[in-house]
Structure 1
């Protein structure tokens, strides 16, 4: 059975994240969407809220489950029996950063990383940018799954 982990902050999950989930679900027997827990970082949404949103958007996929991790991603992958990390790439800047992480993860654990270039319609979407636009009163419905959009508006 092929198992992959799609890690991220998902604060909040965007249509770009959903695209990666959709594509990874088609490529692997099982995909674990793993929300990172980092107590030292301030998030808009709690880990519980992020897990709820991810559970909602992943519901149509029978082979996707939601998890959380704290600490090293490679330790989480080992514990879950995942041999692949899936990462979405929006730009060359993402590639430069993620390549170094992928090489380090492989050296530390043997876990490989699969890069999925973003779909063109999602290439400019980031959780940080969506939150900033929403805070300033801009419309962000086109960038988020409907349930996530509703939660973001209530939160702000």
Structure 2
């Protein structure tokens, strides 16, 4: 079974994240959306709330699981039997960061990273941008996936 692990803090899970997940689904028998607890990133929502939100977005899609984790991504991958990490890339800066992460993850564990480039119409959408707009009381619903 081919298992892909789509990782991130997803604070919040945006239409850009959903686009990457939707495009990754046909590549794997199962896609695990792994919600990271990160000490180095601001996480405005509690882990459980972020997990529940993403579960509601993918409700009824049998080959998607949503799970929290707080250790190294490669350790989560090993626990879940995932041989691939899925990441989205919006820009050259994203690419350089993801390449470095992919290199070290492969060196430490042999796991491969699959990079999916964002839809050009979504390349400006980021969780930090959404949080910034929310902090000023702006409506961000257009940047968040609709729940089925």
**TM class by smaller structure:** over 0.9
1:137 CA displacement: 2.6
Residue aligned with 1:55, SS: helix
CA distance in 1, matches of 2:110, 2:73: 12
Which structure 2 residues correspond to residues 109-148 of structure 1 after superposition, within 5 A? 109-147=109-147
CA RMSD of aligned residues (A): 1.3
Give 1:89's aligned residue. Answer: 89
**TM-score normalised over the length of structure 1:** 0.89
The answer as to whether partners of 2:85 and 2:112 remain within 8 angstroms in 1 is yes
Q: Which structure: greater helix fraction?
A: 1
CA distance in 1, matches of 2:61, 2:110: 27
Give 1:58's aligned residue. Answer: 58
**TM-score normalised over the length of structure 2:** 0.94
Instruction: Give structure 1 stretches of 5+ with no counterpart.
Output: 148-156
Regions of 4+ moved over 6 Å: none
1:102 CA displacement: 0.1
Instruction: Give structure 2 stretches of 5+ with no counterpart.
Output: none
1:39 CA displacement: 5.1
Give 1:69's aligned residue. Answer: 69
CA distance in 2, matches of 1:42, 1:92: 23
